[in-house]
Amino acid sequence: MLLADAGAEVIKIERPGGDEAAEKFNAHGLPVAPVYTAEDVFTDPHIEARGLLMPIDDPEVGTCRFARPAPMLEENAELPRNPAPALGQHTLEILEGLLDYSSSEVDALRDQGIVETGE
């Protein structure tokens, strides 16, 4: 069955995508929204106002903004804002503290290029 046969209205859009398309579809009861590029996400005032961008301070590169994971629910616990650990930052803690490697064993692994210890 053709849409015209069902009495459906044809929606003409001059250029696909963007606000024009979303507004026309929404006006006909179709819930749509534009698909954003990464640049769109970080420049949209609504996303900024909703707190969907999280600043994270990194000691090497400074403050960077990241998009929160979806969905953002009212009861969400606060998300961690720690930067990613540096290469080797937790190696000694894990090898010596959790796995009972001796200092000389860790030194040997580091000297062979097997692990980084951040030193």
Q: Show pLDDT as tens, one digit a residue, over the chain (119 residues).
A: 344 444 566 666 666 656 777 787 888 888 877 778 888 888 989 888 888 888 889 888 899 888 887 777 777 667 777 888 889 999 999 999 999 999 999 999 999 999 999 87
For the chain, domain boundaries: 18-67, 85-119
End-to-end Cα distance, the chain? 71
- Measured in degrees and rounded to the nearest 5, phi and psi for residue 54 equal -110, 125
Per DSSP, the three-state class of 52 is: coil
Query: Which amino acid belongs to residue 30?
Result: L
- Measured in degrees and rounded to the nearest 5, phi and psi for residue 53 equal -110, 130
- C-alpha span between 91 and 113 (Å, rounded): 13
